[in-house]
Amino acid sequence: MSKLTKQQMAEAYWTSADAERNLTCPVRTTLNVLGGKWKLLIISCLIHEPRRYGELRRLMPEITEKMLIQELRELENDGIVARTVHQTVPPRVDYSLTEQGQRVQPLFGEWVGWGKQYLARTGDCGMGSPD
């Protein structure tokens, strides 16, 4: 009898009868909507005021143009970010948090506090080694 790899066990688990229940898991839903490398950073840039695309690029120079567009679209589709096109010449597009997106704001204080404690304890910014 062969042993299953962790990947095979995970695939078996997610295709089991419990899979439907897992789709309604609040933690999984939160991670699906807000998870990823960039979404929380994008939201943090929009917490206090709407921003134009170029402003977001300047605030997060390490994100690629393609990824920023993709993440903004996903956040818009999930009802977290609103995209407003102003009928001006040239056209202006603003991104802002929706009411649902604003509900994340109180959590940022907790995340910032946790991050400060982590940095103080470890001195590690979580970016990996510079090697």
pLDDT tens readout for residues 33-80: 998 899 999 999 999 999 999 999 999 999 999 999 999 999 999 999
Query: In which residue are the tokens 């170029």 written?
Result: 54
> What is the C-alpha separation between 38 and 125, in angstroms, rounded?
16
> In sequence order, what E strands does the chain have?
51-52, 81-86, 92-97
Find out whether 63 and 38 touch, Cβ atoms under 8 Å.
Answer: yes
Is the per-residue pLDDT at 3 higher than 80? no
Structural class in CATH, domain 24-122: mainly alpha
The confidence band for 31, taking pLDDT boundaries of 50, 70 and 90, is confident
| Distance between CA atoms of residues 116 and 113, nearest Å | 5
Q: What is the average pLDDT value for the chain, to the nearest integer?
A: 86
Domain ranges in the chain are: 24-122
- The pTM assigned to this predicted structure is 0.74
Q: List all residues 6 or more positions away from 36 whose beta carbon is below 8 Å from its beta carbon.
A: 71
